[in-house]
């Protein structure tokens, strides 16, 4: 049996890499384990871009965490020299009563965030790519923009390693259990013990954290890139924002980004939740089918001049959803002295990566955090009182 110090972090994607960095910087001896290689594309922390925004339509309770995340992203850029954040502005579009617009407006007003409310005529004048209907409006937020997920993960891994963390890749976790006042973790290569365990399993949460009792649903989603007719000029980040549009006809949300990488790389767009299929992360269909491309192309053609244009490529990722679409970030209810969990980010979690890492380090090292995380307690959910066997149950494959 080999020993690995103070904290074992399982999963080194977005949240796990951030946790490892924060823990190691605070002097903890950290062992990080991941079933894939560093900065991989087999989970949910890839795809070249993620959206960040503060006027958060999901719930105003997220805003304090977002404000801290913005601070930590700036620090990550300073500490690594990597290009992580591009604030190009953001539009939340739809009818005034839509969740996308009304929810964003509620958060902006609750936290006194700067914003502009634009009617359809103002949207067309300021962002001529878009074709809103007369009854549609948009909340514009100048502080919204783009995150680079691969750079974020790479940066946190770099910081963790620089601070002394041991990071082991291509080493799937087979199981874990409380052991001697701490934890024991089994992998295909060996067994490790530590005083604390932090579990950031992504789409492998249903197996690795089965004893939480949370009914996670893993969902296959697809993102698409199109080269606009007439070129990417109108879609460059200095004139084109990130955007989320809630269609008045059917309530479907779809979203997009500026052309971050110039000609030939395309403009990224996707549906938010619409059309997702329940999947197994070990057997996800990574083939993108013609009918899927046609659905998003038709939606874009009705709303954005120059799109869809030429289809460039597509990629699959996974949402790990909770029933209410809020996160799970907490001490494990069955093992509150030794295990901390972060999972169920439900397709909108990446923008919180550095502050979740900070919270996980707080919880693992002190048992508490100054950050407001009551919304993320698994006990809020039916069955979330952590039924099942102690010791991690039958975790199956893990990151």
pLDDT tens across the length of the chain (399 residues): 334 359 999 999 999 999 999 999 999 999 999 999 999 999 999 999 999 999 999 999 999 999 999 999 999 999 999 999 999 999 999 999 999 999 999 999 999 999 999 999 999 999 999 999 999 999 999 999 999 999 999 999 999 999 999 999 999 999 999 999 999 999 999 999 999 999 999 999 999 999 999 999 999 999 999 999 999 999 999 999 999 999 988 999 999 999 998 888 899 999 998 888 999 999 999 999 999 999 999 999 999 999 999 999 999 999 999 999 999 999 999 999 999 999 999 999 999 999 999 999 999 999 999 999 999 999 999 876 544 333 333 333 333
Q: Specify the DSSP class assigned to residue 139.
A: E
Which residues fall within 8 angstroms of residue 352, CB to CB, at 6 or more apart? 62, 65, 66, 69, 327, 345
Question: Taking the CA atoms of the chain, what radius of gyration do you get in angstroms?
Answer: 21
**Confidence at residue 195, expressed as pLDDT on a 0 to 100 scale:** 97
C-alpha separations of 202 from 11, 199, 277, 347, 349 in Å: 8, 9, 17, 11, 11
Query: Could you tell me the two tokens for 160?
Result: 């963790």
Contact criterion met (CB below 8 Å) for 356 and 15 = yes
Residue 3's Cβ-count burial label (10 Å; 0-12, 13-18, 19+) is exposed
In this prediction, residue 22 carries a pLDDT of 98
State the DSSP string of 158-191.
HHHHHTT-EEE-S--EEEEEEETTEEEEEESS-E
User: Are 114 and 143 within 8 A, CB to CB?
Assistant: yes
What b/e string do you get for 264-278 counting C-beta neighbours within 10 Å, with b at 16 or more? eebbbbbbbbbbbee
Q: Are 387 and 190 in contact (CB under 8 A)?
A: no
What the block records as the tokens of 363 is: 């919880």
Per-residue b or e along 291-302, where b marks 16 or more CB atoms closer than 10 Å to that residue's CB: ebbebbbebbee
Q: Are 152 and 14 in contact (CB under 8 A)?
A: yes
Encoded tokens for 5: 């110090």
The tokens for 19 are 């946790």
Check: CB of residue 222 under 8 Å from CB of residue 32: no
Using CA atoms, how far apart are residues 213 and 366, in angstroms rounded to an integer?
25
CB 330 within 8 A of CB 340: yes
Exposed, middle or buried: residue 93 (CB in 10 Å: 0-12, 13-18, 19+)?
buried
Strands (E), 80-228: 85-86, 90-94, 116-119, 137-141, 145-147, 166-168, 173-179, 182-187, 191-194, 196-199, 217-227
Q: Is 30 helix (H, G, I), strand (E, B) or coil?
A: strand
φ and ψ at residue 360, rounded to 5 degrees: -65, -40
Residue 130 DSSP symbol: B
Rounded Cα distance, 258 and 91, in Å: 12
Give residues with Cβ within 8 angstroms of 283, minimum separation 6.
none
Alpha helices in 172-261 (DSSP H): 205-208
- Which of 373, 369, 356 lies closest to 14 in space, CA to CA? 356
DSSP state of 61: G
Kindly report the pTM of this predicted structure. Answer: 0.94
């Amino acid at each position: 049996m080999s020993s690995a110090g103070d904290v074992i972090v399982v999963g080194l994607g977005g949240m796990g890499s951030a946790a490892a960095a924060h823990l190691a910087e605070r002097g903890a001896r950290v062992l990080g384990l991941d079933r894939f290689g560093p900065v991989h594309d087999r989970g949910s922390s890839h795809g070249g871009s993620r959206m960040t925004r503060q006027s958060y339509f999901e719930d105003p309770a997220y805003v304090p965490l977002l404000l801290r995340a913005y601070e930590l992203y700036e620090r990550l850029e300073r500490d690594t020299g990597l290009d992580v954040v591009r604030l190009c502005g953001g539009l939340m579009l739809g009818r005034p009563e839509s969740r996308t617009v009304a929810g964003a407006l509620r958060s902006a007003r609750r936290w006194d965030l700067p914003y502009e409310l634009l009617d359809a005529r103002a949207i067309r004048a300021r962002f001529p790519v878009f074709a809103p209907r007369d009854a549609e409006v948009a909340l514009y937020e100048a502080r919204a923009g783009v995150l680079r997920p691969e750079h974020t993960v790479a940066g946190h891994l770099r910081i963790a390693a620089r601070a002394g963390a041991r990071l082991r890749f291509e080493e799937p976790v087979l199981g874990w259990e409380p052991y001697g006042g701490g934890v024991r973790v089994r992998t295909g290569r060996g067994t490790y013990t530590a005083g604390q365990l932090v579990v950031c399993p992504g789409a492998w949460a249903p197996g690795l954290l089965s004893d939480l009792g949370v009914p996670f649903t893993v969902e296959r989603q697809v993102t698409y890139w199109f080269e606009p007719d007439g070129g990417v000029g109108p879609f460059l980040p200095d004139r084109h924002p990130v955007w989320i549009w809630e269609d008045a006809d059917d309530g479907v949300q779809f979203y997009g980004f500026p052309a971050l990488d110039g000609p030939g790389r395309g403009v990224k767009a996707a549906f938010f939740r619409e059309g997702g299929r329940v999947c197994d992360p070990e057997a996800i269909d990574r083939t993108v089918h013609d009918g899927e491309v046609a659905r998003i192309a038709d939606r874009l053609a009705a709303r954005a001049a120059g799109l869809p244009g030429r289809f460039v490529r597509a990629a699959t990722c996974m949402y790990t959803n909770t029933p209410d679409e809020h996160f799970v970030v907490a001490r494990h209810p069955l093992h509150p002295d030794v295990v901390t969990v972060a999972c169920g980010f439900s397709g909108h979690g990446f923008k919180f990566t550095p502050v979740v890492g900070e919270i996980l380090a707080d919880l693992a090292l002190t048992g508490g955090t100054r950050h407001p995380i009551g919304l993320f307690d698994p006990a809020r959910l039916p069955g979330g009182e952590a039924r099942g066997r102690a010791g991690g149950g039958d975790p199956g494959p893990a990151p």
